[in-house]
Amino acid sequence: MQSIAEMIYIILPAFNEAQAIPRLLPAIRTCLAGYSYRIIVLDDGSTDQTGARIAKLQEQLPIDIITHEKNCGLGKTFEDLLLHVTRIAAPQDIIVHFDCDGTHDPGYITNLCNEIARGCDVVIASRFCPRGGQTGVPLWRRFLSLIANRILRVCIRIPGINDYSCSFRAYRAEMLQKTLLRYGTAVFSLRSFGFVCVAELLVYLHQAGARIIEIPFILHYERKTGPSKMNLSSTLIGYWMLIFRIRRSRGAIP
């Protein structure tokens, strides 16, 4: 099989995902059979058997484990994963991240990577583009995602992009490296607001000139293996802070 990249790095934030990990990681192996890949999991201070189950799978899969002794939240976990992988990846490599909780089907990985191989810098698995969607999502979360993404579309205006907050994406390693070199850890300024960091990074990638597209994706929330880790009030505050910064700078973050 012809490779779509020298190496595909799968980076996964994990907090109390002991139920999902034994199914998810072997599923990644199945989806990437014939490709060169490495899985990097950051165990964010889990209090269940997440760490032990990841370690057990190291005997079968190419897995690196990073550990936070205490739970630091998604924002800090996302930051540490991206800083780590951009240090070790070659410019032509592909970096993919998604959720560990069973809602993101790893079967989309190769579709995302194929678009990077065709010349894109960032590819988003989108719930809101034609043929995309979501099932089993609680009404409050569906409403929050819809409103946040509509407002971000108005404020950021990335052509053709409808889903700014989905955490299932692929990146050309070189583009991430250039963006982090240009802006530094400013791209994680809203790290304390968890899920907002995904939208914030997209803003900086857009400002750095990334070629960004999206492909249709179905999120299956009914497959989630544990309770939601989203803090509603914190997420809302974070989105409004991001929107305020964008509006204040007339659409461009300095």
- What is the share, in percent, of the chain residues with pLDDT greater than 70? 94
Tokens of 236: 């809302």
Find out whether 191 and 72 touch, Cβ atoms under 8 Å. no
Strand bridging mode 169-172 / 94-97: antiparallel
Burial bucket for residue 184 (CB in 10 Å: 0-12, 13-18, 19+): exposed
Q: What is the pLDDT of residue 1?
A: 45
More confident residue, 34 or 228: 34
The single residue listed with the structure tokens 């936070």 is 68
Mean per-residue pLDDT for 119-131? 96
Across-strand partners of 44? Answer: 68
What pLDDT was estimated at residue 61? 97
Q: Domain coordinates of the chain in residue numbers?
A: 8-248
**What was the pLDDT predicted at 251?**
52
Is 90 exceeded by the pLDDT of residue 86? Answer: yes
What is the predicted pLDDT for the residue at 70? 96
pLDDT at 58: 95
- The pair phi, psi for residue 158, each rounded to 5°, is -85, 120
Report how far residue 251's alpha carbon sits from residue 154's, in angstroms, rounded to the nearest whole number.
10
3-state secondary structure of 33: coil
Q: Which residue has the tokens 């799978």?
A: 57
> pLDDT-based confidence at 3, cuts 50/70/90?
low
Tell me the CATH architecture of domain 8-248: Alpha-Beta Complex (3.90)
Q: How far apart are CA 94 and CA 117, in angstroms?
A: 9
Q: Chain-wide mean pLDDT for the chain?
A: 91
pLDDT tens, residue by residue, 157-195: 899 999 999 999 999 999 999 999 999 988 998 887 878
Tens-place pLDDT, residues 188-242? 988 878 788 999 999 999 999 999 999 999 999 999 987 776 676 777 788 888 8
Instruction: Kindly report the pTM of this predicted structure.
Output: 0.93
Indicate whether 133 pLDDT > 60.
Answer: yes
> What is the per-residue pLDDT for 153?
87
- Rounded to whole angstroms, how far apart are CA atoms 173 and 147? 30
**Percent of the chain at pLDDT exceeding 90:** 71
Confidence class of residue 78 from pLDDT cuts 50, 70 and 90? Answer: very high
